[in-house]
Amino acid sequence: MTKNIEFRGHWWLPESEDSTAGIATFDADDGIQLDLFSTLGESVSIDDIPRHDRIYGVTTDAELITLNDCIQSGASMNSSGDVSVRTSSYTAKQLLVGHHFEESSIQFDKFRIRFPLLQDWLGLSGIKGLPTGDEFEVAYTSPEKISTNHGPWNLEFSVTQNHSFSFGDISLSEDAYLQIENREADLTLDQIGRQVTIWKNFVTLALDEEIFPTRVIGYTESVSGAEGRDIEIMSTAYRSGDMDRTYHPTKVNFDFSDIEQNVSEVLSNWLDQSDRFTSAYGLYFSVVYQSPMQIENQYLILSSALESFYQEKTEDPVGLAAENRLDEVLRAIVDEYKSVLSHLPWEPDEMLSKILEMRNSIIHGMNIDSSNSMTLYDQVLFLQALLETAFLTELGIPEEHTRERLNDKYTRQRPFVVTKNTDDTSES
């Protein structure tokens, strides 16, 4: 899935035989838009905006397109003498490539997601080069799939190969996918969207950098005409990742080799915790994905994420707005995860009072001058480290691994290093 892709062809409503030429565009940031060189039969009116469950299309490459949940976003009529020209445009929630869906609810048996760097994270490849003198042989054996179950969910990591041959040129590449299936029920588009978000967050936390899917592909055996076909699902809810990324194994929070011995437990924990820590995850990942963000906003959101995590973990009904709440939350989290936090480049106890003072300053509108900006940045890193320590520990990542990775990361990122047990400060 690229950032911007066009589908040129003819478009019509399912209940109509009249079609009109136009271009559907998927843009990872701006959404899905259909621009037509006429209308779909509606009158041009500012009082009644047309909505359609589906719009069908067939492209100049003979691809079948279904636009789902459509609303007219613009229409015009221009006249010159006896000649008038109408144009119209629509936005859509999803664009599906490969079939005209007639069912009232679009559902799939299973789907798979491709993420940037997923293959590097898995450490799987079936390509082997065999140099023999003046010759070079390439052999390919499909890597073994990694599968696990949790409740009704089947999860499967796999690597597929792509090849092309032409005179003087041979190309062989691989793609890694995560396939997701619910054994008890078919998956609607909204349910697929929810699962894409859950596993996008998992890969982002593992790699310690924002990751968006590059492809989402549905599969069904129950829809007439689409049996056994791959249906590409495009939606701005998934955005679109960049495949041209570099993998940094020493900078990830964990890779597959770190969880290989307990992979079923870790993946099951993630599914459970995505439901349990909904608010905490939502706030934390909003900071990760919405970069750049003002440092004061990061501070307040991460503080709220810690409060939400504490409330969701303890099922504590106390409201989150009370200013004296953060002290209790931070103290409880520091105490619970001290075996990891005590190895990170801060004195946790010393940071707590500073964080409360800073939060009160921000809430009451006090300006953060340049002399305090680095202190604020350091406290944001500490809040982020608290959340990541809690997330990784609850996920089942070994403590010694979490200590090593987070200590390395935050030692690099801190603007200064406070020497433990002293008042001395030295530049890092």
Per-residue pLDDT 10s for the chain (428 aa) are 456 899 999 999 999 889 999 999 999 888 999 999 988 876 655 667 889 999 999 999 999 999 999 999 988 877 777 777 788 999 999 999 999 998 888 999 999 999 999 999 999 998 887 777 777 788 888 899 999 999 999 999 999 988 777 777 878 889 999 999 999 999 999 999 999 999 999 999 999 999 999 999 999 887 777 778 899 999 987 766 665 678 998 899 999 999 999 999 999 999 999 999 999 999 999 999 987 889 889 999 999 999 999 999 988 765 544 555 788 889 999 999 999 999 999 999 889 888 888 877 787 766 666 557 888 899 999 999 999 999 999 999 999 999 999 999 999 998 664 444 434 444 43
Residue 350: predicted pLDDT = 87
Q: Which two structure tokens, joined as six digits, stand for 323?
A: 């200013």
- Three-state DSSP class for residue 319: coil
- Three-state DSSP class for residue 243: coil
Residue 370: predicted pLDDT = 57
Residue 275: burial class (beta carbons within 10 Å; 0-12, 13-18, 19+): exposed
Cβ neighbours around 401 below 10 Å, total: 15
205 neighbors 79 (Cβ within 8 angstroms): no
Residue 48: burial class (beta carbons within 10 Å; 0-12, 13-18, 19+): exposed
Give the whole-angstrom CA distance, residue 378 versus residue 393: 22
Residues 6 or more apart from 420 whose CB is under 8 A from it?
347
User: Would the pTM count as exceeding 0.85?
Assistant: yes
> Which residues lie across from 148 on neighbouring strands?
155
Sequence-separated contacts (24+) of 57-62 with Cβ below 8 Å: 57/7, 57/9, 57/10, 57/11, 57/12, 57/24, 58/9, 58/10, 59/7, 59/8, 59/9, 60/8, 60/9
Give the whole-angstrom CA distance, residue 373 versus residue 207: 28
75 neighbors 22 (Cβ within 8 angstroms): no
> Which residues lie across from 156 on neighbouring strands?
147, 179
Residue 35: predicted pLDDT = 96
Residue 140: predicted pLDDT = 82
